[in-house]
Amino acid sequence: MVSILQALKVSLLFLIFGLIPFVLVVIAIVSLISMGFGFDFKVLYANEGVDTGSVLGNLGLLIVASFIFFVGLFKAIGDIAEAALLE
């Protein structure tokens, strides 16, 4: 059990650091679609009057965050399987 937890140290960091922006971007995209929450990422706007920068920025951030999240997820699955096979 200790070796499984030691193997998951890096994987949990990948999952946490990927999950936080993943959830934020999903909330931002849902709010852009429904305009219910009113979250605006002003940093990602291309121009002040154009929403395309926000949408493209959110989609880019979603791609990067989901990549980090799924790398961590598959690394965690591999580390658990490797630690279980070694014991």
Residues 13-69 pLDDT 10s: 777 777 777 777 777 667 666 665 555 555 444 455 545 556 666 677 778 777 877
**Amino acid at position 21, single letter:** P
Number of domains in the chain: 1
What was the pLDDT predicted at 43? 46
Domain that holds residue 18: 2-86
Quote the pTM value.
0.53
